[in-house]
Structure 1
Amino acid sequence: MDKVKIPIKKIENPNKRQVCFSKRKMGIFKKASELSIMCGTEIAIIVFSSAGKAFTFGSPNIDFVVDKYQNISVHINDKKVHKSWRSEQQYNFILRELDAEKKHTEMLKIQEGNKQADSWWRRNIEDLELHQLREFNDSLKGLKERIVKVLQEKEPSDKVPNEIEAEQLLSTSYMG
Structure 2
Amino acid sequence: MEGKKTLGRRKIPLEKIEKEAARYSSFSKRRSGLYKKASELVREFDVNLGIVLSSPSGKSYSFVHPTTDVAIDRFINPTTELDLGAQLVAAEARNKVIQNSDRLNELDAREKAAKEKIRFMDQKNEARVRCWWESMDQFNAEDITKFEGIMNTAEGFLNVQLKQLEDGASSSIHSPPKDADS
1:82-114 deviations in Å (ceiling 9; x for gaps): 332222122212221232123113212321232
Q: Which residue of 2 aligns with 1:99?
A: 108
Letter in 2 for 1:81: A
User: Identity of counterpart residues, as a percentage?
Assistant: 22
Report if aligned partners of 2:53, 2:62 keep a CA contact under 8 Å in 1: yes
1:115-172 deviations in Å (ceiling 9; x for gaps): 13422219xx9xxxxxx58739xx9xx86762441453x57xx82769xxxxxxxxxx
TM-score, structure 1 as length reference: 0.63
TM-score, structure 2 as length reference: 0.62
Shift of 1:20: 1.7
Aligned length: 150
Q: Which residue of 2 aligns with 1:25?
A: 31
Q: Which residue of 1 aligns with 2:177?
A: none
What is the DSSP-based 3-state SS (H/G/I as helix, E as strand, rest coil) of the residue aligned with 1:11? coil
Q: How does 1:1-176 map to 2 (within 5 A)?
A: 7-8=12-13, 9-71=15-77, 75=83, 76-119=85-128, 120-121=130-131, 135=137, 146-150=150-154, 152=156, 159=160
- Closer/same/farther in 2, CA of residues 22 and 133 from structure 1, 3 Å limit: closer
Report if aligned partners of 1:151, 1:160 keep a CA contact under 8 Å in 2: no
- Closer/same/farther in 2, CA of residues 71 and 133 from structure 1, 3 Å limit: closer
Letter in 1 for 2:27: F
Distance, in Å, in 2 between the alignment partners of 1:20 and 1:4 is 19
After alignment, is 88-97 or 29-38 more displaced?
88-97
Distance, in Å, in 1 between the alignment partners of 2:120 and 2:137 is 23
Letter in 1 for 2:74: K
Letter in 2 for 1:66: I
Distance, in Å, in 2 between the alignment partners of 1:102 and 1:4 is 26
- Closer/same/farther in 2, CA of residues 18 and 5 from structure 1, 3 Å limit: farther
Please identify the structure whose Cα radius of gyration is greater. 2
What is the DSSP-based 3-state SS (H/G/I as helix, E as strand, rest coil) of the residue aligned with 1:77? helix
Report if aligned partners of 1:47, 1:54 keep a CA contact under 8 Å in 2: yes
Aligned-residue Cα RMSD (Å) equals: 4.0
What is the DSSP-based 3-state SS (H/G/I as helix, E as strand, rest coil) of the residue aligned with 1:50? coil
The structure, 1 or 2, with the larger RCO (C-alpha pairs under 8 Å, 6+ apart) is: 2
1:55-76 deviations in Å (ceiling 9; x for gaps): 1112222331112222497654
- Closer/same/farther in 2, CA of residues 121 and 28 from structure 1, 3 Å limit: same
Letter in 2 for 1:121: C
